[in-house]
Every structure is written in C-alpha cells, then in structure tokens.
Structure 1
C-alpha cells in the first residue's frame, strides 16, 4: 500500500520485486522497492505533471549528489556559507581562504555552494582536491566558479531544497561568513535543525573579518529580542561560536570531535560514543552539571547496547548512556563540550566518525 491514497495492487508490488531481481539489487531492496512503489502511487493519484517533474528532478539530483559524496564518506567535511558578492580583495574573502586552508591541512574537505565570492574563496583556500561544490542553476549564476568548474567534485542542482540537503547532510562542521538572505537562511536552518534535535550536534562558527561587527549585531538581536521575548531558550545560541579568528574557527570545528565521536537513540535512551573511557569522577561531574537534562536515573558509563551490537554500530567505543528530557535535546552541545574537556580525552582531536 502507498503511504497515503489508494493501495498499491499486489501484482504491481510483485512486479516491482521482479524488477529489483532483474537489476541485481539485493542490498536494501525493501527501501528501493518503496521508492518505486511510491512513484507508482503518484501515478495512481493522478498527480499533476508539475508535481511529478519536481519529484523526478529531486530524485535525479539526489542520486547525482549521493554518488559525488560517496568516495569521501570517511573524510570529515565542513560546509562554508557566505555571500556570492564578496570580492577577492575583501578581508572576508581572505579570512575564508585561510580557514579553508587550515581545515584542509587538518585533513578535512570543504563543501560550498560552488558559486563566486565566499564560495570561491573557500575552494581556493582548500584547493581543488579538498573541495566539493553543490551549485545551483540560477538565471544570473548558472555555472560553478572557475576553480570547481575544472573539477569533477561538483554537482549542479535545480532546487534549493535538494542543494541545502546536501550542503548540510554530509558535513560535521559549519562556518558562516557574513552574507545576505541566502546565507542567513542557511545559518538559521542549521540552528533550527540543532535546536529541534532533527540533526545531530555539530559545531557552528560565525566567522567575521578582524574587528568585524556583523555577527555581534546578530548576537545582540538574539539576546535583546529573541531570548527576552521567550521565543528561544537562553542557551539556544550557546552552540554557536562568534569569532574573527581563523585559528579559533578551525579549532572549534576539529576540537568538537576531540573526545565525542557520535550518538544514537535506542528507544528513549541516548547513547553518546566517546574516544576515551571516562573516569568515575568525570561521570559524577557530568551528573552534577547536567542532571537537569536527565528525565530519569542518571548519566552512566556503559558499553554497546544489544541494538548497537546487532548493527555493528561502533561497538568497541566507550559510552555514556542517559534518558534525557526530550525537550532539552538542544542542550546536548553543552554536554558534549564538557565531555571534550575530560582529562581522559585524547590530547589532539580525532578524525570524525563516518
């Protein structure tokens, strides 16, 4: 049966299985079958041609993007957002080049929207081999910047929503430079995903030129308007680092993964995987600082849960396990930062897990 609408006839479902067998698809065949039967369902629903074109183009674009990113699955990536109008002689352009270069030197790749301005600066700083571009086809900006145009590490999108998906999905750190509506839209979407728990915690840096006040103005607006009016919580903006230091920006992204590795929800329990075994004293300290985040019980050190073992999901890493208050998932950043300060943590940041 389709997710909604008329049921998919049994003979159609059987025919879809035959198509998959003929194509030799065995891995995740159930999910591929769902995609195909959903397409059939769209036809049965007499979906308009425009809506079918949107669906078809979105799937085609996502397939191309998934194929582009696949070879770099195990490489940590940072997406850099910023204005397409920033000129090469601007201090922001130079700062972007420096932070992209610093990340590339630490083994990271840089993901951008592949346009001019800040996007080109990031690609120049990281170099072609450490850059991935996800461009958008616009009437006035229909080609990737000159650097990425010569690279195979670029994919073009028709729709902003598929482009934004790929700019966010694959990265484990983000740097935002001052920009216009598009940049602010991207930044606020990042914050929304983090605040609501729809995305796993990642470091977000708002980088300005030396002495710049662009992001400081946003900070004042957040404190004086959003927090004061009660539409966000006082700690919602703590997950963001505002700085004009390239070194601090690079350290924030790589340092976030110093001890923290990844997380997984198992029922109502949250499992935080670490690089180093916490001491009993460190666990007690977390409970003193973050006990209010826990709905029941306390934060406990542990090992992989049965569901994780069944999936071979990083079973060898030490863990912290808690049952958090779901309404406070936005505070996970503060807990992770405390974990990264453990004396037992590695002295240098580790590679980001895949």
Structure 2
C-alpha cells in the first residue's frame, strides 16, 4: 500500500481527495496539507478526515506521518517549490500538469528526481482513457498505413462550463492544450520538430490572456498536425480530448475521448474509414483505472514494482510535451514564426 500526502486542497485538489484517491486501492491517504483554514475545514467536514491528519505545510506533515508519495494538486505557480521540496525530502511525486511554470524549472525538477532516485510523474490523465490507447496501438501497428495529416478541434465555451481562472497566462496553450500536445506525442509515437502558432481574444471575453489559437505542428517522422482550439467557442462543443481526424495512407481514423457534457458522459469513440468508404466503430479496451485515477494507479505501481507501466508520463518524458507549450507561446508572441523544438531543448 502506497501512503500519500496530498498537498493542495482547493477546488481541483478537493476533487482529487474526494473522487479519485479513494478509488485507487493501491493508495491510502497519509496526510492532507493546505495553508488555508477553509480548505482544511472542508476536508474535515465533508470527507471526515481526522484533525491529526491535517497540516498547514509539507514539513509539518512529513515530521508526523510516514509516507511514500506526495500528490501535488496546486496551482501551477506553486508546483516548482512544492515538488522540489518533496523530492529533497525523499518522496516520489505525482504532480498536476503543467508541472512547472517554464521549461527551465521543469528541467531542474527532472534532474532533481533523477539524482534522488525518485519517480516524478506528471498527471497527463488524458493518456489513461480507452480511445487514445486504442489509436496509439493502431498507429504503432500501421493498421491504416502511415499517418500524414492530423486535424484536431477543441471547442468549449468557458463561461458555460464553470471556468474560473480568468487571469491565468496562456489559458489555452498552457492549461488546456498541454493535454492535446501530450496526446499527439503518445498517439503518434513521435516527437515534435517545429511549430507555428497564433492566438487571440474576443471582445466579449472574460479572459485576460488569449483563449483562442491555431497551430501547425511538424513531427520528426513527417506527420503534420493542424490544431485549432477555443475556450470562447459559440459552436457545438467537443469532447475534452478534442475531435481528431487522422489522415492515413489507407484510410482515416476519427476519434474522441473524455466526452463529458450536460447531456451525460458520452463514451470514447474510435471510428475508421478505409479507401472503399467502409466505416467501422471499433471495440475499445477496458481500463481498471481511467483518467486521473489511471495516473495515480500508475505511479503507485511504479513505486511498488520499481518499474514504470505503459504510457507512464514521467517528468523526463513530459519535457517534450512541455516544450510544445513553450514553443507555441513563443511562436504566438512572434506572430506565428516557426519555433524549432531543438532550439528550446538545447
């Protein structure tokens, strides 16, 4: 049993504590940490957590309880200091994405985890759903030949879905598209070469920074991805994964994942269309632990066995997904100029 200290009990952190941690049998809560008295009071009142398991700092919690893992569910700007401190204390870490505020911080955390001999995992929870797993397998086997062009559309109307972080820098690219960028790498089994991106806002938007953007991403094996995303869309919304059309040499793969809507949670879907026009909806794998529970279960397995399971989003692996965030932001600031990933990673 992996014992976890959870740090960060705001809205999203509380969701982790209430809805995710109890579903993963390999993990048991050892302590809850948040400097906010209101956050601690909510955990105690609604989850029935004993007072002696609640702390205002990681130092205090670590001095009082035995634990293996720190689950960092804070706002992005707090990730680096908390994760760095946890690694210094000898904990394994699962941290929400993006796992740092910039690539330099991310590199530093990866180096620290390697030196400490500890697992550092980023909660790229979209990897832990049936559709992307199925499509990644199909692409690896070239089920419909080589993938030449991928089109991805992500559309949500932020005010309608309860979005709250109106002042967050780069809300599309850093907070949302990081999921899509990471899925691109996972599904294609490839890494990005260069990107071009433009972003903008609308006159009626509550966002301080740009919530809409388009990007062209070129991958090392030659696949080109056309990405279009909007947090202020008045059109029909998409699944949280976006809607993917993958143009292959022998047909098309169309899929969506994590489709949570007001009309109910819709299932992951993968459809194919071959060159004759014949379509097929494919059976998808059943996962014991999906989405966020999948990431928590994966790091618990790694701690237990010393080996990382398939699709494990380590800090080291996630550097290239994070680099796509930084590259698209840089390109947008330069009015769409191409940014080479190698230049960022050098």
TM-score, length-scaled by structure 2: 0.31
Higher helix share: 1
Larger radius of gyration: 1
Higher strand share: 2
